[in-house]
């Protein structure tokens, strides 16, 4: 009894409710999240799940605003990229610089990751991983039955669509949701225009580039892919689209490597049951998407201590390894042990390093890493409307992209 009391005392000296907003509700995502809840519960805290379904986080971010406006922010929320800064500017985020210094985060994280977590030089968020978005997930059996090679260009994929369909399969597994449309589009834009074009368009938000000929070509190519998608696509969840590739109903899916979490959960092996290849034309580039949690200011000491435990847990080496094995991503920490990871993850880690040197490393605009939120949302709406409206011209789409930047500037 005494021993038990001591043990409990050791773990639960400042036990608190840890409420975290996230949108990890698919099978693979939930498996990854369980690594975090397990860890925090083992140190005596109570996990209060605040999950908001909807890949890409659009629904979650709407709900977060409602909660913050009503004066009850969660302890932490999955907030990414420039939005971390936007929340910090409103004075809502907690400075976790002391936890970060004690854990030596500056020396542990790649600069591109560390910088995204800071506001005015102080950490206000903690990263858990790096996802690569520009992947193509292939069912090799399906391609074989259709007599088609893995596509090395978007045109080759479009040209092979008839053979894939005649063999009885859907060429592209897709869910018709704006963020999935935008995810597909950013890979097409990167493949057609290259990393420099991508950066000018989606990081510098340069209007000449948004109106230029390369963007026209990217949009035209993107629109041609609409015919490669089945009639059941509207509103389909991304994980249901991944399931079409897993079960051999569709040939390919273009999605970040959270899709690998679904393959892994289904017991599938890369190289044998499925292939991971960079999306056509993007093998020298890497669209990164860092999952991170920003911390909201807490009124009570207990809660602040629990928040520090959460920050430490998120950055733990062993946690990041286990979490990312289930999530499909790679650890955010540099020099993480990769021996338990599969080939796709090893290639992602290698490409992340190589593209950071070559200039091919670019932030995912669809996953909230590149542009201010208002611009990102308006661009996403424009791209999705264009994809789904047969009557909207490419010129109109380009005009709307330019307007998206202007609208974002007004809101800032």
Residues that bind ligand GAL (CB under 6 A): 23-24, 29, 55-57, 131, 238, 258, 289, 291, 367
CB of 351 vs ligand GAL, minimal distance in Å:
18
Backbone φ and ψ for 148, nearest 5 degrees, come out as -125, 140
CB of 261 vs ligand GAL, minimal distance in Å:
8
CB of 24 or CB of 263, closer to ligand GAL: 24
CB of 81 or CB of 278, closer to ligand GAL: 81
Strand partners, 123: 118
Interior/surface letters 46-61, b for 16+ CB within 10 angstroms, e for the rest: ebeebbbebbbbbebb
CB of 259 vs ligand GAL, minimal distance in Å:
9
CB of 57 vs ligand GAL, minimal distance in Å:
5
Q: How far apart are CA 350 and CA 288, in angstroms?
A: 13
CB of 164 or CB of 245, closer to ligand GAL: 245
User: In whole angstroms, how far apart are CA 43 and each of 98, 168, 307, 408?
Assistant: 20, 52, 12, 43
CB of 23 or CB of 222, closer to ligand GAL: 23
CB of 133 vs ligand GAL, minimal distance in Å:
9
Chain mean position to CA 231: 26
The three-state DSSP-derived secondary structure of 115-171 is HHCEECCEECEEECEEEECCEEEECHHHHHHHCCCCCCCHHHHHHHHHHHHHCCCEE
CB of 56 or CB of 360, closer to ligand GAL: 56
CB of 10 or CB of 53, closer to ligand GAL: 53
CB of 392 vs ligand GAL, minimal distance in Å:
26
Q: What is the number of the residue whose Cβ is closest to ligand GAL?
A: 55
User: In whole angstroms, how far apart are CA 283 and each of 135, 197, 270, 332?
Assistant: 9, 15, 18, 21
Determine whether 163 is exposed, middle or buried from the number of CB atoms within 10 Å of its CB (0-12, 13-18, 19+): middle
Q: Give the residue from 291, 299, 336 showing the smallest Cα distance to 316.
A: 336
CB of 27 vs ligand GAL, minimal distance in Å:
12
Query: Strand, helix or coil at 341?
Result: coil
Chain mean position to CA 87: 19
Q: How far apart are CA 244 and CA 251, in angstroms?
A: 8
CB of 105 or CB of 179, closer to ligand GAL: 179
Q: Give the residue from 146, 33, 117, 94 showing the smallest Cα distance to 304.
A: 94
CB of 57 or CB of 151, closer to ligand GAL: 57
CB of 126 or CB of 306, closer to ligand GAL: 126
CB of 253 vs ligand GAL, minimal distance in Å:
12
């Amino acid at each position: 009894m005494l021993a038990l009391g001591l043990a409990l005392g050791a773990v639960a000296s400042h036990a608190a409710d840890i409420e975290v907003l996230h949108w990890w509700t698919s099978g693979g995502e939930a498996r990854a999240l369980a690594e975090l809840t397990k860890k925090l519960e083992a140190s005596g805290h109570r996990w209060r799940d605040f999950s908001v379904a909807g890949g890409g986080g659009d629904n979650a971010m709407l709900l977060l605003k409602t909660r913050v406006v009503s004066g009850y922010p969660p302890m932490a929320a999955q907030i990414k990229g420039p939005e971390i800064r936007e929340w910090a500017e409103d004075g809502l985020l907690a400075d976790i610089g002391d936890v970060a210094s004690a854990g030596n985060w500056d020396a542990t994280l790649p600069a591109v990751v560390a910088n995204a977590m800071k506001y005015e030089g102080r950490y206000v968020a903690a990263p858990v991983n790096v996802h690569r978005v520009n992947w193509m997930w292939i069912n090799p059996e399906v391609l074989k039955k259709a007599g088609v090679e893995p596509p090395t260009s978007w045109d080759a994929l479009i040209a092979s669509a008839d053979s894939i369909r005649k063999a009885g399969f859907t060429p592209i597994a897709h869910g018709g949701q704006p963020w999935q449309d935008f995810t597909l589009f950013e890979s097409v834009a990167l493949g057609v225009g290259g990393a420099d074009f991508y950066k000018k368009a989606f990081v510098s938000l340069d209007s000449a580039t948004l109106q230029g000929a390369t963007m026209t070509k990217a949009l035209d190519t993107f629109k041609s892919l609409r015919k490669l998608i089945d009639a059941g696509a509207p509103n389909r969840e991304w994980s249901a689209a991944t399931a079409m590739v897993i079960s051999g109903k569709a040939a390919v899916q273009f999605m970040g490597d959270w899709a690998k979490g679904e393959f892994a959960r289904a017991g599938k092996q890369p190289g044998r049951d499925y292939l991971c290849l960079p999306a056509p034309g993007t093998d020298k580039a890497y669209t990164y998407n860092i999952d991170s949690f920003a911390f909201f200011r807490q009124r009570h000491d207990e809660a602040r201590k629990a928040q520090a435990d959460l920050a430490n847990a998120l950055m733990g080496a062993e946690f990041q390894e286990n979490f990312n094995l289930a999530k499909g991503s790679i650890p955010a920490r540099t020099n993480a042990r990769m021996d338990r990871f599969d080939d796709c993850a090893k290639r992602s880690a290698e490409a992340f390093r190589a593209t950071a040197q070559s200039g091919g490393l670019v932030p995912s605009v669809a996953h909230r890493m590149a542009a201010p939120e208002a611009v990102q949302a308006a661009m996403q709406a424009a791209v999705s409307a264009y994809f789904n409206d047969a009557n909207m011209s490419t010129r109109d789409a380009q005009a709307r992209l330019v307007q998206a930047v202007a609208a974002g500037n007004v809101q800032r």
